[in-house]
A and B are shown apart, each in its own frame.
Chain A
Amino acid sequence: MATNGAAGNISQFRLDNGLRVVTAPAATGQVAALNLWYGVGSRHEVPGRTGFAHLFEHLMFQGSGNVAKGEHFDAVERLGGDINASTSTDRTNYYETVPEHALDLVLWLEADRLATLRDGMTQEVLDNQRDVVKNERRQRYDNVPYGTAFERILALGYPEGHPYHHPTIGSMADLDAADLDYVLSFHERHYGPDNLVVTVVSNLEPGDVRDRVERYFGGIPAREVVAEAPDATLEGLIGGPLRETVTEKVPAPAVFLGYRVGNYGSRDFDVMHLASAVLGQGQGSRLYRRLVVERGLASDDGGGAADLLPFRYAPSLMLVSMIAREGVSGDELEAAILEEVQGLADGISEEELERARAVLERDHLQSISTPGGLADALGSCTQLFDDPELVHTWPQRWSEISTDEVVAAAKRLLGEDNLLVVRFEPEAKTGSTPVEA
C-alpha cells in the first residue's frame, strides 16, 4: 500500500510485520537520512525502574549478534555520517544521516540490533553504560545551576506513580538497580517492527527505499506480546498553586512556572502553543518586551521564556521560566511574570497572534529544512499520529485559531488552580542546606 502526499511528495508503506515506512525527497543530493522512531519511552517505566528506556538506548550501541561493541558508531562515523539517538517520555529514536550509497549498510545495522541485540548484551557492557549514564545525569542535571528544575516540575505536575511523574534520565538508585535480565526482557517487550516507524529522506525512488527496508527488516517477526503502557489518563487542572522553593548554589533567583494543557496533537495544545508564543517566544513576545526590555527585571534569554512540553499520551505542560537580574528578588520576578501570564486572559491583538504564528511556523520550517530534521519530523508524525502529512499541514492548524480562542483558553488554563511554581534562590554566602517550603 502506498499513498503519495501532494504537499511534500511523502510516500508511506506498511510491511507485513507491521513496520511502517515513510519516504520523502531531500533538498540536497547524495545523502540519505534514516530515522527510526520506536514507540517506547519513559512513560513505559514502572516505579523502581526509572531511567531504563534511556539506559536501554545507550545499550543499543553496544553491539548485537553480528556487530561488535563500538562497530555501529564506527561504521557510520567513517562515512562522515551523523549518528545519535534520543529518548523522551513517548518514544526512542535512532538516526543516521549518511552518503546515499551507505543507506543499505545503516539499514542492516539497525535491523541487526532490532533482531539480535540480546546476543550482544553482557554484564560488563551494562555496568559501563550505567556509569556513562550516571555521568550524563551529573553533567546535565546535578552539576549545573537549575539543573534539577525539570524533574521538580514533572514531580509537581504529575502525581506520584503517574508515568510522566519522573524524568527520562531516571534516578541514580534506579540506574544502580538495573539488571541484565530486565535489559533482555525490555528489548523483547518493546523492540519489534510492529512498534517501529522507519523514515528515509533521500533522492531515491520511494519504491526502491521500501524494497530496501523490506530486504533488511521484512524477515523480523512482530512481537509476540505487545507491551502495555501504564495508564496515563489525567483529568482536570493541576489543583494548584503547587509550589517548591529550592535554596542552593545558583547565581541568581529563578522562576519556573508550569500549567497543565492539552495532549500533544489536540487543538487545545495548538491553542496554548500560540499562547506561549505570544507570551514568551521571540523578542516581540510580551515577557521579553516587558520584563527584559522595559522593566529590566529578567536576564536576557533572547526571547525563549515560554514553550510547551509536548506529551502525546497525557496532558502537556506549558512552561515559563526566567532568571532575575541583579538586585531583583525572586518574589518580584514571579509577580511580574504572573502579571503577564494572567494578562493573556484580558485579550491579545491580531498582530500579536500573527507574530506568534510566524514564529512557530519559522521554527517548524527550520526544523524540517535539513534531511535529518525532516526525517525526524516525519517519524514523529507517523509514530504519534499515524499521519506523516502533518509535517506540511501543521502550520495550517495555527492559521485557523483565532484570538478569541486563545483568550478563552488562557482564561480556562492560566489561573492559579492550574499552576505549579518551582523557585530557585541562591544560598547565603556562608552556606546553607536545601530548604523546601
Chain B
Amino acid sequence: MSMLQPRPTLGDASPYTFPKARRLQVGGGTVVAIDVPGQPYAAVRLVQPAGGTSEPLDQMGVAALANEALEDGPEGNSSLAPALEQYGAEWVSRVTWDSFVTGVDAPASRIADATALFAEAVRAPALRDDDVIRRRDQLVERFWLEASMASTVAARAIGGQLFTGRYATPLSGGPANLQQLTPEIVREFHAGSVAAVAGTLVVVGDLSGVDLEKIGRTVFGDAQPTPSRSTTAPEGAPGELPRVLVLDRPGSVQSALVLAHRAPARSEIDLPRANGMSDVLGGMFTSRLNMELRERLGYTYGVGCRFDLRRDSGVFFISTQVEGPTTAHSVTASLEQIERLRNEGVTDGELSAVRESNTVGLPVGYSTARSLASALVEAVVHDLPEDHVDQLRAGFERITAEDLHQAARDYLHPSEFVIIVAGDAKEVAGPLEEIGVGPVTVRDPEALWA
C-alpha cells in the first residue's frame, strides 16, 4: 500500500447563511445582537457617527483624542482599564472616518457588569484637564514615534496626495492640529456628538441569561436618537498624475511603496466585482502581485492591495516593502500586472477562487464574536440592509469572468496613481526617474507634518 492516499475530492459545502440578528428599540437607540451559544467571550460595540469626517476643519483630531480620553474613565486618571480588568474585560475603541466606535470584549458571564462600566465611561467621563492634556501630548509624541516606520510614513501621505479638505490630514489630526485642541474643545465635542447621541449597540456572544433590553437601557439612558447624516464628495488634490513622491529616509534598506488612486464611495461601488477583482490582483497570497514580486522576483516579504471605502469617497491602494535597489522595478512590475489584468481579464481558476472564497469561505470569516460584531458595525456605519452579508454572498455566486474583467477597467486607473516611496532618495530617486512613470519629487517626511 502506498503511504499516501489520493487527493480527496471536495464535496459540496453546506450553504451558509449569516446568523439572524435580534433587533430591539430601547429608548433612543437600537440594540442589534447575535446569540452564539457556547461562545464564552462576548463583543459589545457602540456605534456612533462622530468619525473624522464629522470634525470641524479647525478641530481635526478631536474625535481621535476624545476617543482616547474616554479611557481615563468616569473617575479620570486612567481608571477605566483597571476597573474593566477586574471583570476580565477589555476596552475596545476606534475612530474611523465615518464612525466613533467604543465597546468592551468581556466574558459573557460578566457582560452586564462590564457594560455598565463601559456605559458610564462613554456617557459620563471625567475628561479632566490634566488627563486630556496628557493624552493629547502622548498622541503627538506617538505620531512621531510611528513616523520612524517606513510603512507608516508612506501610508500617512496618501490622504494629502489624493484629497483636499479633511482627508488631506491623517485621521489622528497630525501633531500641529492636535496641539491646538484644548480640554474644553474635547468636552464640547464629547457632549454634543457622543454623550447626547444614543447610537446603535452591537452585542455578540453566548447571550443565554443576558438581558439585552436592560443592557440597552444602561447604555442609551436618555440620549437622543442618532441624527441622519448627509455626505458631500471631497475634492481631489491638485497636481499632475501619475506622479512619484519620494519621502527621503537616508540609509533605509527597504522602501515602503504605495500606489494609490481615488475610488468610488462604499455606496456607489459594486462590491463583489470590485473586491473580487482586487482579490485577483493583490488580496490573497496567491494573487498576481504577490506571486510576481515575492514568489518569482523575491523582492519582498509580501504585497497586497485593497479598497478603503468610505461613505463619501474611497481609495484604492497597493502597498508593500521592497529591498531598496528593487524599488523602481517593483513599481513597473506592479503596473504591468495591472495592465495585464485590464487587458486580458481573469482566468477560470481566478474566477472560481474569488467566487468560492467569498461564499463557501464565509463560515471561516465569521467564526468569532469579533468578526460577527464587525459585520454588524459595518452595516450600521454604511446603512446596509440586515442581510447585507447574504446579499454580498449572492453577488459573488453570480459573478462572471467578464464582471471581473470589466471591474479591472472600471476601478483600476494607472494614469491616476500617486506613487509614494518612503526610502533612501539617494538610491531610489534616479531609477524612479528613469522608468518615466511621472514626475519625481523628493521631500523630507518630517516636513509634511511639522
Asked if residues A79 and B361 are in contact (CB atoms below 8 Å), the reply is yes
Interface residues of A in 47-93 (CB under 8 A from B): 65-66, 69-70, 73-74, 77-83
The CA-CA distance from A282 to B363 in the complex, in Å, is 33
The CA-CA distance from A296 to B358 in the complex, in Å, is 47
Q: Is there a chain B Cβ closer than 8 Å to A104's Cβ?
A: yes
Most A Cβ at <10 Å: residue of B5, B296, B362: B5
Asked if residues B366 and A303 are in contact (CB atoms below 8 Å), the reply is no
Tell me the smallest distance from the CB of A75 to a CB of chain B, in Å: 9
Tell me the smallest distance from the CB of A383 to a CB of chain B, in Å: 23
Asked if residues A73 and B285 are in contact (CB atoms below 8 Å), the reply is yes
Asked if residues A300 and B138 are in contact (CB atoms below 8 Å), the reply is yes
In-complex Cβ contact of A139 among B13, B36, B88, B254 (8 A): B254
User: Chain A contacts of B253 at CB under 8 A?
Assistant: 138, 142-143
User: Chain A contacts of B360 at CB under 8 A?
Assistant: 79-80, 99, 101
Given the known A-B contacts A27-B38, A325-B141, are A370 and B367 also in contact in the complex, defined by CB atoms under 8 Å? yes
Asked if residues A362 and B89 are in contact (CB atoms below 8 Å), the reply is yes
Which one, B79-87, B262-270, B338-346, B436-444, is touching chain A?
B79-87
Asked if residues A143 and B361 are in contact (CB atoms below 8 Å), the reply is no
Proximity string of chain A (407-437) to chain B, C-beta cutoff 8 Å, 1 when within and 0 when not: 0000000000000000000000000000000
A355 (CB) vs chain B CBs: closest residue: B85
User: Chain A contacts of B8 at CB under 8 A?
Assistant: 104-105, 108
Given the known A-B contacts A251-B147, A326-B141, are A116 and B78 also in contact in the complex, defined by CB atoms under 8 Å? no
Given the known A-B contacts A105-B10, A128-B295, are A73 and B148 also in contact in the complex, defined by CB atoms under 8 Å? no
Q: Is there a chain B Cβ closer than 8 Å to A219's Cβ?
A: yes
Tell me the smallest distance from the CB of B269 to a CB of chain A, in Å: 21
A354 (CB) vs chain B CBs: closest residue: B86
Asked if residues B148 and A143 are in contact (CB atoms below 8 Å), the reply is no
In-complex Cβ contact of B362 among A80, A97, A300, A371 (8 A): A80
Q: Is there a chain B Cβ closer than 8 Å to A112's Cβ?
A: yes
Q: Is there a chain A Cβ closer than 8 Å to B230's Cβ?
A: no
Asked if residues B85 and A252 are in contact (CB atoms below 8 Å), the reply is no
Interface residues of B in 16-54 (CB under 8 A from A): 16, 36-41
Q: Is there a chain B Cβ closer than 8 Å to A341's Cβ?
A: no
Q: Is there a chain B Cβ closer than 8 Å to A135's Cβ?
A: yes
Tell me the smallest distance from the CB of A195 to a CB of chain B, in Å: 16
Asked if residues A358 and B41 are in contact (CB atoms below 8 Å), the reply is no
Tell me the smallest distance from the CB of A67 to a CB of chain B, in Å: 9
User: Chain B contacts of A73 at CB under 8 A?
Assistant: 284-286
User: Chain B contacts of A220 at CB under 8 A?
Assistant: 3-4
In-complex Cβ contact of B78 among A100, A283, A299, A326 (8 A): A283
In-complex Cβ contact of A143 among B86, B141, B252, B368 (8 A): B252
Asked if residues A77 and B36 are in contact (CB atoms below 8 Å), the reply is no
Proximity string of chain A (149-190) to chain B, C-beta cutoff 8 Å, 1 when within and 0 when not: 000000000000000000000000000000000000000000
Tell me the smallest distance from the CB of A60 to a CB of chain B, in Å: 14
Chain A interface residue bracket vs B: 35 or more
Q: Is there a chain A Cβ closer than 8 Å to B105's Cβ?
A: yes
User: Chain A contacts of B147 at CB under 8 A?
Assistant: 251
Asked if residues B90 and A80 are in contact (CB atoms below 8 Å), the reply is no
Q: Is there a chain A Cβ closer than 8 Å to B11's Cβ?
A: yes
Q: Is there a chain A Cβ closer than 8 Å to B380's Cβ?
A: no
The CA-CA distance from A105 to B360 in the complex, in Å, is 14
Chain B interface residue bracket vs A: 35 or more
Q: Is there a chain A Cβ closer than 8 Å to B382's Cβ?
A: no
Q: Is there a chain A Cβ closer than 8 Å to B298's Cβ?
A: yes
Asked if residues A219 and B2 are in contact (CB atoms below 8 Å), the reply is yes
In-complex Cβ contact of A369 among B40, B353, B358 (8 A): B40
Which one, A28-36, A223-231, A266-274, A306-314, is touching chain B?
A28-36
Proximity string of chain B (349-371) to chain A, C-beta cutoff 8 Å, 1 when within and 0 when not: 10011001111111111111100
Asked if residues B254 and A111 are in contact (CB atoms below 8 Å), the reply is no
Proximity string of chain B (137-169) to chain A, C-beta cutoff 8 Å, 1 when within and 0 when not: 010011011011110000000000000000000
Asked if residues A77 and B357 are in contact (CB atoms below 8 Å), the reply is yes
Tell me the smallest distance from the CB of A310 to a CB of chain B, in Å: 21
Given the known A-B contacts A70-B295, A101-B11, are A139 and B38 also in contact in the complex, defined by CB atoms under 8 Å? no
User: Chain B contacts of A128 at CB under 8 A?
Assistant: 295-296, 298
The CA-CA distance from A72 to B286 in the complex, in Å, is 10
Interface residues of A in 213-253 (CB under 8 A from B): 215-216, 219-221, 249-252
User: Chain A contacts of B369 at CB under 8 A?
Assistant: 369
Interface residues of B in 63-112 (CB under 8 A from A): 71, 77-78, 80-82, 85-90, 105, 107
User: Chain B contacts of A101 at CB under 8 A?
Assistant: 10-14, 360
The CA-CA distance from A361 to B349 in the complex, in Å, is 45
Asked if residues A299 and B138 are in contact (CB atoms below 8 Å), the reply is yes
Q: Is there a chain A Cβ closer than 8 Å to B317's Cβ?
A: no
Asked if residues B36 and A27 are in contact (CB atoms below 8 Å), the reply is yes
B145 (CB) vs chain A CBs: closest residue: A251
Q: Is there a chain A Cβ closer than 8 Å to B226's Cβ?
A: no
User: Chain A contacts of B310 at CB under 8 A?
Assistant: none
The CA-CA distance from A144 to B147 in the complex, in Å, is 10
Given the known A-B contacts A78-B353, A101-B10, A135-B301, are A145 and B148 also in contact in the complex, defined by CB atoms under 8 Å? yes
The CA-CA distance from A115 to B3 in the complex, in Å, is 8
Asked if residues A282 and B85 are in contact (CB atoms below 8 Å), the reply is yes
B139 (CB) vs chain A CBs: closest residue: A300
The CA-CA distance from A115 to B16 in the complex, in Å, is 34
User: Chain A contacts of B36 at CB under 8 A?
Assistant: 27-28
Q: Is there a chain B Cβ closer than 8 Å to A393's Cβ?
A: no
The CA-CA distance from A200 to B298 in the complex, in Å, is 33
Given the known A-B contacts A74-B286, A136-B301, A361-B88, are A99 and B363 also in contact in the complex, defined by CB atoms under 8 Å? yes
Asked if residues B363 and A355 are in contact (CB atoms below 8 Å), the reply is no
User: Chain B contacts of A143 at CB under 8 A?
Assistant: 150, 252-254, 321
Tell me the smallest distance from the CB of A35 to a CB of chain B, in Å: 14
Asked if residues A145 and B149 are in contact (CB atoms below 8 Å), the reply is yes
The CA-CA distance from A249 to B253 in the complex, in Å, is 13
Q: Is there a chain B Cβ closer than 8 Å to A288's Cβ?
A: yes
The CA-CA distance from A153 to B148 in the complex, in Å, is 22
B326 (CB) vs chain A CBs: closest residue: A135
The CA-CA distance from A359 to B83 in the complex, in Å, is 11
The CA-CA distance from A78 to B89 in the complex, in Å, is 35
The CA-CA distance from A219 to B4 in the complex, in Å, is 6
Asked if residues A358 and B85 are in contact (CB atoms below 8 Å), the reply is yes
Tell me the smallest distance from the CB of A58 to a CB of chain B, in Å: 10
The CA-CA distance from A102 to B78 in the complex, in Å, is 47
Tell me the smallest distance from the CB of A103 to a CB of chain B, in Å: 9
Asked if residues A138 and B85 are in contact (CB atoms below 8 Å), the reply is no
Asked if residues A74 and B353 are in contact (CB atoms below 8 Å), the reply is yes
Asked if residues B141 and A66 are in contact (CB atoms below 8 Å), the reply is no
User: Chain B contacts of A293 at CB under 8 A?
Assistant: 77-78, 134
In-complex Cβ contact of B141 among A132, A299, A365 (8 A): A299
Most B Cβ at <10 Å: residue of A115, A129, A143, A354: A143
A-B contact pairs, 22 of them (CB 8 A): A27-B367, A28-B36, A29-B363, A30-B16, A66-B7, A73-B286, A77-B357, A79-B357, A99-B363, A108-B7, A130-B298, A131-B298, A133-B301, A138-B321, A143-B321, A216-B5, A221-B3, A283-B80, A283-B81, A283-B85, A325-B138, A366-B41
Nearest first, the 4 A-B pairs at minimum CB distance are: A80-B361, A131-B298, A284-B82, A283-B81
* Interface residues of B, Cβ cutoff 8 Å to A: 1-5, 7-8, 10-14, 16, 36-41, 71, 77-78, 80-82, 85-90, 105, 107, 134-135, 138, 141-142, 144-145, 147-150, 251-254, 284-286, 291, 294-296, 298-301, 321-323, 349, 352-353, 356-369
Q: A73-B284, A283-B82 are in contact. List 18 more A-B contacts (CB 8 A).
A: A27-B367, A30-B14, A30-B363, A82-B364, A99-B363, A105-B8, A111-B4, A127-B298, A128-B296, A131-B299, A134-B323, A140-B301, A145-B145, A250-B148, A288-B78, A293-B77, A293-B78, A299-B142
* Interface residues of A, Cβ cutoff 8 Å to B: 25-31, 65-66, 69-70, 73-74, 77-83, 97-102, 104-105, 108, 111-112, 115-116, 127-136, 138-140, 142-145, 215-216, 219-221, 249-252, 282-284, 288-289, 292-293, 296, 299-300, 303, 323, 325-326, 354-355, 358-359, 361-362, 365-366, 369-372
